[in-house]
Chains A and B, each alone.
Chain A
Amino acid sequence: MKLNVKKLDVSINNNHILKKVDIHIKNKEFIGIIGPNGSGKSTFLKCVYRVLKKYNGDIRLDGKDISEYSVKKTAKMMSVVSQHNDSQFDFSVLDIVMLGRSPYKKFLERDNKVDYDIVYESLEKVGMKNFADRSYLTLSGGEKQRIILARSLAQKTKCLILDEPTNHLDIKHKLQIMGIVKKLDITVISAIHDLNTAALYCDKIYALKSGTVIAYGTPDEVLTEKLIRDLYGVNCKVVQDEDLGALNIIYKPL
């Protein structure tokens, strides 16, 4: 699935949050969006996943304007894992993941064998297949996010949007979630705070600062000492690790 965003402009209560943002994402690309808090990452993603409707500009999914799709249709094209997924009510894991099938359901249609197979497959992919009858609220933070990821997988979409889903997870769970997502081989658009993680998984990175794209390219191109200083006001050293071939960013204390 490809996504083309042109001149996206968003103001909320006189705050100019996004300023004519252009973002283009090709099929099966893993795109990271970095930037400090309040730079407009979430706002951008919310426009794309249709929670924010008051924007100026042009958002096209596979060439067609997003407002021409029904929400049911877009739920079959892209799924979302966001930061907060808490409810006051306690569902079982099975109930939660089964809701991922709801875009495919017509009025009065029941869950069938295909749905159960997909739910199982999704739980298996995130390594939670034995948790089906557990209650969601008793799970740990990392487990919860994996269940929400499983729900997204049950939507069988060609695009996955991650809105800082690994924010409060420890390093193992963070890598676990990103690893699962990377293996899916679909279009992924992810807001990321941790630059090392971004370097590890992203094909391309957009850097947002105060609602403007200030850099775009591969992790090597974007994650430079100068850009990180411009973006976050933090001094650091960027090292290419010879053994792992990975980019490593070492921060200097402020």
Chain B
Amino acid sequence: MSKVNISNLKKIILKEKTSYIIFSITLLVILVFSFLHSITFGTVDISVKEIYSIIAYNVIGIEGIDNLSRAIIDIVWIIRLPRLVLAIVVGAGLATCGVVMQAIVKNPLADPYILGISSGASLGATLAIMLGIGRKLGSNYVGISAFGMAFIVSIVVITLANIKGKANSTKLLLSGMAISTLCSSFSSFIIYTSSNREGMRDVAFWLMGSFSGAKWENLIVVVPFVLLATIFFTTQHRALNLMLLGDDVSITLGKNLHSYRQLYLLITSIVIGFLVYNSGIIGFVGLIIPHISRLLFGTDHKKIILISALMGSILLIWADVISRLIIKGSEIPVGIVIALIGAPAFVYLMINRNYGFGGEK
């Protein structure tokens, strides 16, 4: 009797494992397909064969682009490809950090920007664009200033939450909200008192996020870092699971979460800072993708980190394609596209599927 049942349990485990593996492989295939396919979209018509021969030439040195013009080669290699790689990295990074941040603050409504990082970044960008602060830092001084402020804000939030006893999820959330509000009001103040109309538009565009600033020299830093962070967090599934049960329960299960939380916060802050530097603020991905993964595979972080990273990448690839194509000859901020796809999808999940957003169904 008991033998029958233990094989039953094994069957459940095996079934879950198989469907997880099949699903991850499917997502990987979709990602590769999206990558190969989306690179052919653009305002300039370039044939598929030309595109791949340019990539082949640059990556593995296969000849065969002698008859192509320099402009076409540049469009593919300097504009389209880095942009695509950036979309993939940002998607993976935001989704992973979203999952981790929801665990850190134990709140299903959290997203990667919850600890005031986005308001910090906006303040940095506003200071740079409107007041010209940090202009000496080179052509991407807006990004650098945003990265700097985002990082400072997350450190301030973590420090604040640690004053008078160790940080817990509530203290983190509250200090995040306070600092976030402070930064936003500073930004609003600067924008309100300024008469620089063009600057306002720049700030707005920057805040809504775009991949148009993708450059290989930045990607070389960001890609490995986001990749390593994602791999690192998949190895941390037990600590992440325990975070959702709370600090007290975790101690009785052999883990004092305090140091884990600090480390995770530091890593996510750096990742988000990098992403903000390269693409501005892209909302919603870090909130909705973790929930879709949970809808499909439950709460166990062993599975949902990787699934989230893959889905985030795929979503951003196509959101970027749409943002480039929806208005001919112009580009809208990718953040708008995400919100337009994401919000209805979120509502659909909420009313149509039997899903409790982490909580009770």
Contact = CB atoms under 8 A, between A and B. Distances in A.
Interface stretch (B6-14, B32-40, B64-72): B6-14
B358 A89 contact: yes
A92 B298 contact: yes
A88 B102 CA distance: 10
Nearest to B246: A87
Contacts of B9: 94, 116, 119-120, 123, 129, 132
A26 to B, nearest CB: 22
A233 interface: no
Contacts of B358: 88-90
Contact of B361 (A89, A105, A116, A138): A138
Interface in A95-119: 95, 99-100, 102-103, 105, 107-108, 116-117, 119
A39 to B, nearest CB: 20
Interface stretch (A68-76, A196-204, A238-246): A68-76
B108 interface: yes
Contacts, number: 117
A90 B106 CA distance: 12
Given A90-B299, A91-B300, A99-B241, A108 B235 contact: yes
Interface string B330-361: 00000000000000000000000000101111
B298 A102 contact: no
A72 B298 contact: no
A87 B256 CA distance: 18
B55 to A, nearest CB: 35
Interface residues of B, number: 37
Interface residues of A, number: 45
Contacts of B238: 99, 102, 105
B47 interface: no
A86 B13 CA distance: 24
Among B9, B238, B252, B358, the one with the most A-chain Cβ atoms within 10 Å of its Cβ is B252
Nearest to A96: B245
A89 B359 contact: yes
B249 interface: yes
A160 to B, nearest CB: 11
Interface string B83-103: 000000000000000000000
Interface string B238-258: 100110111111011111100
A66 to B, nearest CB: 12
B107 interface: yes
A95 B252 contact: no
Interface in A71-87: 71-76, 78-80, 82, 85, 87
A137 B300 CA distance: 14
B255 A95 contact: no
A155 interface: yes
B195 interface: no
Contacts of A119: 9
Contacts of B235: 107-108
Contacts of B139: none
A137 B359 contact: yes
A27 interface: no
A103 B253 contact: yes
Given A71-B256, A88-B108, A90-B358, A95 B13 contact: no
A130 B5 contact: yes
A121 B106 CA distance: 30
B255 A72 contact: yes
Given A94-B12, A120-B6, 7 more contacts: A46-B248, A51-B251, A71-B254, A82-B249, A95-B241, A124-B2, A137-B356
The 7 A-B pairs with the shortest beta carbon distances in the complex, nearest first, are A75-B254, A103-B254, A72-B254, A80-B252, A89-B358, A89-B244, A51-B248
Interface of A: 46, 49-51, 70-76, 78-80, 82, 85, 87-92, 94-95, 99-100, 102-103, 105, 107-108, 116-117, 119-120, 123-124, 129-130, 132-133, 135, 137-138, 155
13 contacts: A70-B254, A71-B251, A76-B254, A78-B252, A89-B108, A89-B244, A90-B356, A91-B241, A91-B299, A95-B299, A120-B5, A120-B6, A123-B9
